[in-house]
Amino acid sequence: MDMTNDVGTCTLTYESAALGYSDFPLTEEPVYLLGIKYSALYDRDDLKKDFLSRIWCTYRKNFPAIGGTGPTSDAGWGCMLRCGQMMLAQALVVRHLGRDWRWNPNCHDESYKRVLQMFADKKSANYSIQQIASMGVSEGKQVGSWFGPNTVAQVLKKLAVYDEWSSLVIHIAMDNTVIENDIRSVCKGNEQSDCDIIGVRQLKHNSAAMGQSKSSSQNSSNQNKNKQNTVDVKSWKPLLLVIPLRLGLTEINSVYVHSLKACLSFPQSVGIIGGKPNHAHWFIGYMGDKLIYLDPHTTQPSEDLDSPNFPDDSYHCPFPSTMNVMDLDPSIALGFYCGTEKEFDDLTQSVQKFVVSSSKNPMFELYKDRPHHWPPYEPYTAQSASATGFTMVDGLDTEEEFELIG
């Protein structure tokens, strides 16, 4: 498929907005992309290949109806769900393939295919639009409703419990506060899950069967020799840390811009989900005062990711979109992936230096232990679910969801 021509066709289905595709500008300013620093002049090919390798989740149409009788397209309401998918997909790519992995149109890497299949538009996929939208009911969101950053993070946290292949812990730091030892307790613990929600017990079975059926091909593939990250989940479960924030009332407070960009330069960064009201993007880097993002507002046909040699180029966008950082809506969620405890230690040191200590008004706080007046920390497991399969969580995506810090 000619990706340039395909993108030109897809942009006709964009929701109205002042955005469009363009190449990276020829600038002397450094470009940061998910923790890697590039020169737009001298590292141009590497920069474009890195951007192209990110998994691009967009609106899709003609997929199996959500709930059997619900929507068959998420156009117009699913943009934040797709952004959540993109952030999580990046964490899983780093988890199973490594940050240095790069996609190409003839990619046959089995781990990559398996990651992508987890986001297929069908109920049996762990992180499908069907699973996310259905689980959103537990967050007070009816199927077809628009999500905010915190809601999609809460939903993905619940679904990740059933992804045994990745053994990923999603920790959501609320109240603008990261508690280090809360995170260590869940990443170094061994919680088990035995409760079923919206059919995800079957997902675990399917995931295990998929792993068995593909083990022979994975073992024989030379591509996987240095791409499958070695993670000892007994000593540290891989962490996706999500920090929902509100950085102002109706517009972002400029005092947070420096720290925001610093977070995108950390090697643990898996981007930021946010954008404008009811118009979400996944931000993955910056150059100067421009944020670089992937936009889900393109409606593409649903793909059958179970077919042999399925087409996957519609999951990779060749051209970046950019916007001025001051145009960012103040409601965002930061994402960081730490595959080892050492990476988490490095992240906390960077946060302390470049976010907390560098500003009189830090974006969020970092503490070793919970304040004494806080209730005990209770990590989410599937056992937390009620008999109906859902856990009601207080707080929706309204202004009251965030503590205003600026």
Residues that are catalytic: 79, 295, 297
Which token pair is 372?
Answer: 């004494």
Match 């117009």 to its residue by tokens: 76
CA 297-298-301 angle, 5° bins: 135
SS3 for 241? strand
Alpha helices in 320-379 (DSSP H): 341-351
Beta partners for residue 274, in sequence order: 281
117, 85 contact by CB (below 8 A)? no
Displacement of CA 25 from its chain's centroid (Å): 26
| Strand pairing report for 36-39 and 169-172 | unpaired
Which token pair is 98?
Answer: 């490594």
292, 321 contact by CB (below 8 A)? yes
Share in percent of the chain as helix, strand, coil (round to 5): 35, 15, 50
SS3 for 365? strand
Identify the H or E element spanning 179: strand 177-179
Give CA separation, 34 vs 87, 127, 144, 309, 334, in Å.
Answer: 11, 22, 30, 29, 12
| Strand pairing report for 30-33 and 290-294 | unpaired
C-alpha torsion 355→359→365→368, nearest 10:
80
At 57, the amino acid letter reads C
How far apart CA 190 and CA 199 sit, in angstroms, is 23
SS3 for 344? helix
